[in-house]
Amino acid sequence: MTYRDIEESVRDGEPLELYKFLVGTTSFLYTASVESVLFNGQVYEPIAISRTEIDQNDEIDRAGLNITVPRGTPVTERFRVFSPPAVMTVTIFSLHPTTDVYATIWSGRVLSCDWRGSKVSLACESTFSSQKRLGLRRNYQATCPHPLYGSACKVLKSNFKVPATITAVSGSTVTVSTLGGYAGSHFSGGFLTLLDPTYSLDTRFITTGGATMTLSHPFESVEVGDLVDMYPGCAHTTDACDTKFSNILNYGGFPYVPEKSPFGSTTVF
């Protein structure tokens, strides 16, 4: 029998909802059933989980969903201090366990986490929401708009990787063993990556460089002796593009933009 046949059946339908949260390589599996459920080789644990109604209308970008779980549920701990460094996706399945027939009824990502007494509300948006948004527009500007190491920039970050070892850590401030012979400001505006068992690769933005550098926010778990990789930042100017990365042919800005706009009230010609 198909899922539709069982779903519409008066006697055979026994739908259970399964919730799969995935961030990096770690998954959190829950069900609203009173017992654990084995599905696709994975065990979904029973908790008091619920959701708002799935809004089916022509405004896809507004079809969000709120999922409520008990306070202290492991999936919410990822939002305790900061949001996870990787996108947390959520998929909801409707399963008929007696026949193992199922359907994916909703998928999207978790946007935020709101603690409300003994419960926690996870605000989610549909996968179709991000697909409907307009892409980035390229502006007419002097500085380069290309993301560093992106497809338009074409700089290979592997060519500029500098391995190092954490020698000291205090909150968002870390000290590394080497800068690879570069000046401290070389890494300002860049990023530092740490191999993490939860996210595979945990990344932090470097706000100020130097052997002792300040990160955008602390790592969830980092210890002295951990191996990290550092990548330099870019000022998005012609000088940085040419002298630092030898990439001037891919510079995306317009360095000779007039300082005065020809569309303003003053005469420029």
- Tell me the average pLDDT across 31-50: 92
- Tell me the average pLDDT across 178-202: 80
**Half-sphere exposure at residue 253, Cβ-oriented, CA atoms within 13 angstroms:** 21
Task: Show the domains of the chain with their CATH numbers.
Answer: 3-132 (2.30.110), 157-250 (2.40.10.170)
Q: What is the mean pLDDT of the chain?
A: 84
Nearest Cα residue to 23 out of 227, 268, 200, 218: 200
What is the reported pLDDT for 182?
Answer: 86
- Which of 37-46, 216-225, 257-266 shows the lowest mean pLDDT across its residues? 257-266
- Tell me the average pLDDT across 43-68: 81
Nearest Cα residue to 93 out of 33, 35, 24, 5: 33
Show Cβ contacts of residue 226 under 8 Å, excluding neighbours closer than 6 positions.
165, 166, 194, 195
- Per-residue pLDDT at 2 exceeds 70: no
- Which of 51-55, 110-114, 158-162, 193-197 shows the lowest mean pLDDT across its residues? 193-197
In terms of average pLDDT, the best of 97-106, 125-134, 152-161 is: 152-161
- Tell me the average pLDDT across 39-53: 92
Instruction: Phi first, then psi: give them for residue 5, nearest 5 degrees.
Output: -60, -45
**Tens of pLDDT along 81-107?**
777 777 899 999 988 776 677 888 899
